[in-house]
């Protein structure tokens, strides 16, 4: 995992808030918090419930957020409940810094918490992750609040240049958005020994993932080469995906694995990873596959080209071009030397660019800079 901190001697009280579902922002927030705790920082997760990858570890505390219901608020109000909890934990634990992952509604809660804490408020870092800027964040119902929260953060970061530019431009931010990439634990996500051909996709099954394209690519590939499709994750598109798979008479060849806290063993059985999304700010699911030596076939959209190098670690094609994606997948299944070269290149890219250690160094560097500044 993450090696010793270059900032030895400095240890901070850090709050982290993220969504508690299976999304990539929660994954990265959790992996970052655990790595910081291993470096001796005192890390406090403040979340609706334990994020899926959170494990018990020294220096890590979970503060759950209760959202009381009332006849006028039958679902409670998470934004306000989180704001109060963030303020309470910031003060009780004397947090030095609060790191928010995903702007809606978490950055607004943090903004309110900061108002509640006044002069004793911790430094505030907001990391935008994707739809909080690209789609939801631009909705008139959210945009003014997202913008306000980002303007009042001490630093705003994004995992890719693509998303940093989009946030600055589309939310009219005055300061630059810093890029600190996502990362992968290359020890846990290590190559396995795949057997029969398996195409894999891992996501939260939302429309932005274009799940029907995943099935279309698989159907075209299977016409030429016997293989299976393994679907990891779950979400709103699942019934439509199951119906489409059944309509194409592919049900016996598709394994729906559901949500899992430990995806590495399944990626290690995979031959090709499919990510034909409409857009991705980064594509953490693809990075975890690459770290297991699995080449990626994806859309040439958003921040994906910052992660997957066309012709080297996978193939990128225009959104919706399932013919081209199927052809590239077939090449990977039929040309063993090509698959081997891309598998090695994918793993090597992770080892040189996306290891935990250097990226956690970058986070500590940012935190140190903010903590040195006068309020």
Our finding on whether 281 is near ligand GMT (CB under 6 A) is yes
Least distance CB 355 / ligand GMT (angstroms): 17
Backbone angles phi and psi of 63, in degrees to 5 = -115, 105
**Nearest-CB residue to ligand GMT?**
130
Binders in 15-44 for ligand GMT, by CB under 6 A: 23-26, 28
Of 185, 280, 306, 364, the residue at the interface with ligand GMT (CB under 6 A) is 280
Indicate the residue among 155 and 284 with the shorter CB distance to ligand GMT: 284
**In whole angstroms, how close is the CB of 9 to ligand GMT at the nearest point?**
30
Distance, in Å, from the CA atom of 166 to the CA atom of 110, rounded to the nearest integer, reads 22
105 binds ligand GMT (CB under 6 A): no
Q: Which stretch binds ligand GMT (CB under 6 A): 126-134, 170-178, 229-237, 360-368?
A: 126-134
Q: Which residues contact 118 (CB under 8 A, 6 or more apart)?
A: none
159 binds ligand GMT (CB under 6 A): yes
111 part of the interface to ligand GMT, by CB under 6 A: no
Return d(Cα 65, Cα 85) in angstroms, integer: 6
Tokens 């779950």 found at? 234
- Find out whether 47 and 65 touch, Cβ atoms under 8 Å: yes
Q: Residues 53-92: x/- map of binding to ligand GMT (CB under 6 A)? A: ----------------------------------------
Closer residue to ligand GMT (CB): 182 or 355: 182
Number of H helices, E strands in the chain: 13, 13
Q: What per-residue string of b and e applies to 15-54 under the rule 16 or more CB within 10 Å gives b?
A: bbbbbbebbbbbbbbbbbbbbbbbbbbbbbbbbbeebbbb
262 contact partners, CB below 8 Å, separation of at least 6: none
Nearer to ligand GMT, 184 or 229 (CB): 184
Q: Which of 282, 354, 363, 367 binds ligand GMT (CB under 6 A)?
A: 282
Number of chain residues interacting with ligand GMT (CB under 6 A): 19
Least Å distance between CB 375 and ligand GMT?
29
Contact (Cβ atoms closer than 8 angstroms) between residue 131 and residue 98 = no
- Sign (positive or negative) of CA dihedral 337, 343, 347, 353: positive
The nearer residue to ligand GMT, 205 or 227, going by C-beta atoms, is 205
Q: Does 129 bind ligand GMT (CB under 6 A)?
A: yes
Select from 5-13, 53-61, 261-269, 280-288 the region that touches ligand GMT (CB under 6 A): 280-288
| Residue 127 contacts residue 159 (beta carbons within 8 Å) | yes
359 binds ligand GMT (CB under 6 A): no
Give one DSSP letter per residue of 116-171, joined into a string.
HHGGGPPEEEEE--SHHHHTGGGSTTTHHHHHHHHHTSSEEEESSHHHHHHHHHHT
Task: Rank residues 227 and 325 by Cβ distance to ligand GMT and give the closer one.
Answer: 325
Q: What is the largest CA-CA distance in the chain?
A: 66
Q: Which residue has the tokens 């303020």?
A: 87
Q: Give the binding range for ligand GMT (CB under 6 A) out of 130-138, 139-147, 191-199, 216-224.
A: 130-138
| CB 254, min distance to ligand GMT, A | 23
Cβ contact 259:22 at 8 Å = yes
Draw the binding track, 177-216, toward ligand GMT (x: CB under 6 A; -: no contact). -----x-------------------------x--------
Residue closer to ligand GMT (CB basis): 39 or 129: 129
Rule CB under 6 A: say whether 131 interacts with ligand GMT. yes
> How buried is 302 (Cβ within 10 angstroms: 0-12 exposed, 13-18 middle, 19+ buried)?
buried
Binding site for ligand GMT (CB under 6 A): 23-26, 28, 102, 129-132, 159, 182, 208, 279-284
């Amino acid at each position: 995992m993450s090696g010793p901190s270059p900032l030895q001697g400095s240890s901070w009280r850090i709050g982290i808030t993220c969504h508690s579902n299976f999304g990539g922002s929660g994954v990265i927030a959790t992996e970052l918090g655990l790595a910081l705790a291993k470096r001796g920082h005192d890390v406090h997760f403040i979340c609706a419930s334990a994020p899926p990858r959170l494990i018990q570890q020294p220096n890590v505390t979970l503060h759950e957020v209760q959202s009381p219901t009332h006849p006028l608020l039958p679902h409670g109000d998470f934004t306000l409940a989180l704001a109060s909890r963030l303020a309470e934990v910031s003060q009780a634990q004397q947090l030095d810094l609060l790191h928010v992952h995903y702007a809606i509604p978490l950055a607004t809660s943090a903004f309110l918490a900061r108002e509640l804490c006044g002069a004793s408020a911790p430094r505030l870092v907001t990391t935008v992750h994707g739809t909080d800027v690209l789609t939801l964040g631009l909705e008139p119902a959210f945009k003014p609040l997202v913008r306000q929260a980002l303007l009042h953060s001490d630093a705003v970061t994004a995992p890719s240049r693509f998303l940093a530019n989009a946030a600055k431009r589309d939310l009219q931010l005055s300061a630059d958005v810093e890029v600190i990439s996502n990362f992968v634990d290359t020890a846990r996500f290590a190559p396995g020994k795949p057997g029969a051909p398996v195409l894999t996709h891992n996501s939260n099954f939302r429309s932005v993932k274009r799940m029907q394209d995943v099935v279309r690519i698989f159907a075209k590939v299977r016409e030429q080469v016997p293989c299976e499709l393994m679907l990891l994750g779950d979400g709103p598109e699942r019934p439509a995906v199951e119906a489409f798979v059944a309509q194409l008479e592919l049900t016996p060849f598709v394994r729906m694995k559901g949500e899992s806290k430990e995806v590495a063993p399944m990626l290690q059985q995979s031959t090709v990873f499919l990510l034909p999304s409409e857009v991705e700010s980064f594509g953490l699911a693809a990075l975890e596959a690459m770290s297991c030596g699995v080449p990626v076939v994806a859309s040439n959209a958003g921040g994906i080209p910052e992660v997957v190098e066309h012709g080297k670690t996978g193939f990128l094609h225009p959104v919706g071009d399932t013919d081209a994606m199927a052809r590239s997948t077939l090449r990977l299944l039929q040309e063993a030397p090509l698959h081997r070269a891309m598998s090695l290149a994918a793993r090597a890219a992770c080892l040189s660019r996306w290891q935990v250690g250097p990226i956690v160094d970058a986070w500590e560097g940012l935190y140190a800079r903010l903590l040195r500044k006068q309020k």
